[in-house]
Amino acid sequence: MRIIKTIQEMQSFSIDMRRTGKTIGFVPTMGYLHEGHVALMKKSREINDVLITSIFVNPLQFGPNEDFEKYPRDEQRDIDIATENGVDVLFMPTVDEMYPTKQSIQIEILDRVDVLCGKSRPGHFDGVATVLLKLFHITSPDHVFFGKKDAQQVAVVDQLIKELNFPIQLHMVETVREEDGLAKSSRNVYLSPKERSEAVHLFKGLQIAQQKIFDGEKNPAIIVNEVKNYIITHTTGKIDYIEILRFPSLQPLTVIDQQIIVAVAVQFDQARLIDNLII
């Protein structure tokens, strides 16, 4: 596996690969790799000649009171996991490499961001879009891979690729879960033992919503209220949101009659957890 830390070297590599007709799969991450990231890597390996994974904790997507400095990092562990899972190039730029000067161009996402995580994290997806625009230009991928757990991010990336005419195919990969159903996340390490035992109820609440829909309930407000009561009863976390929206447009609806997302976010003491089901 080759480790690249400069934009120039990364761009040169991608240009060389494309000249030889090889397809490039790209998995962007913020590191502290886990089984969810590995699932993305494996999916990319199935359909691409070359796999590039990036590790970059992007400061632009963290708010003033969020955990940029505390975000878990373990460079050697990440290198080992990437090596074991067939990554050809691990792109690991520094903040100064990615943002050598103050940004003079501002990316603003106007749609799909005033709900779910975007509602309580203003500017977050502007930061996500900025770094992804840069990474797409630097790595020149044919295919990119994101997990369903970050479904709002997937919806924003879908919009980004289509509206800015990137010749990239987006792949949404199933959420990888612990045995008890908790979605894999780098932030799970911040849960206390008590919170970890409670966290499984986020997914169980989503399963209740899914079953209600399968049983014929079409009123999203009724389902949201039931999930809310369940999570309040079974956890000590503070609910940030429980929403049912069209997917991927993330528009509100009054009757469930098409593909939707049921999504939850709960703030525990040191970790904010998100999860969803697309139905």
DSSP string, 29-67: E-SS--HHHHHHHHHHHHH-SEEEEEE---GGGS-TTS-
Flag whether pLDDT at 121 surpasses 90.
Answer: no
The span from the first CA to the last CA of the chain, in angstroms, equals 38
Least confident of 122-126, 134-138, 193-197: 122-126
Per the model's pLDDT, the better-predicted residue between 120 and 131 turns out to be 131
The pLDDT of 93-111, averaged and rounded, is 94
Laid out side by side, the sheet with 260-267 consists of 238-246, 260-267, 272-278
* pLDDT value, residue 63: 84
Q: Which residues pair with 255 in a beta bridge?
A: none
Q: Is the pLDDT of residue 152 over 80?
A: yes
More confident position, 145 or 123? 145
pLDDT value, residue 216: 96
The answer on whether 206 is annotated among ligand-binding residues is no
User: Average pLDDT for residues 143-170, to the nearest whole number?
Assistant: 96
pLDDT band at 247 (very low <50, low <70, confident <90, very high): very high
Alpha-carbon Rg of the chain, whole angstroms? 19
State mean pLDDT over 176-184.
94
* 3-class DSSP assignment, residue 6: coil
6-20, 64-78, 123-137, 159-173: which has the minimum mean pLDDT?
A: 64-78
How confident is residue 2, by pLDDT bands cut at 50, 70 and 90? Answer: very high
61 is known to lie in a ligand binding site: yes
Nearest partner of 33 among 61, 3, 60, 72, judged by Cα: 72
Confidence of residue 132 (pLDDT cuts 50, 70, 90): very high
Q: Per CATH, which fold does 2-173 belong to?
A: Rossmann fold (3.40.50)
- Note the Cα 200 to chain centre separation in Å: 19
Q: Give the whole-angstrom CA distance, residue 11 versus residue 3.
A: 13
Would the annotation count 124 as a binding residue? no
Does 110 carry a binding-site annotation?
no
The Cα 228–Cα 225 span in angstroms is 5
**104 a known binding residue?**
no
Yes or no: say if 119 and 243 are a contact pair by the CB < 8 Å rule. Answer: no
Please check if 149 is assigned to a binding site.
yes
- pLDDT band per the 50, 70, 90 thresholds, residue 255: very high
pLDDT of res. 67 = 76
Q: What is the pLDDT of residue 107?
A: 92
For the chain, percent of residues with pLDDT exceeding 90: 91
State the average pLDDT over residues 135-157. Answer: 96
Show which residues are catalytic: 37
Question: Annotated binding residue at 35?
Answer: yes
pLDDT value at 4 more than 90: yes
Q: If pLDDT is split at 50, 70 and 90, which confidence band does 186 have?
A: confident
Do the annotations mark residue 25 as ligand-binding? Answer: no
Domain boundaries, the chain: 2-173, 186-278
pLDDT tens digits, 23-75? 999 999 999 999 999 999 999 999 999 999 999 999 999 987 777 888 889 99
| Confidence at residue 42, expressed as pLDDT on a 0 to 100 scale | 97
Say whether domain 186-278 belongs to CATH 3.30.1490.190.
Answer: no
Pairing between β-strand 272-278 and β-strand 260-267 as defined by DSSP bridges? antiparallel
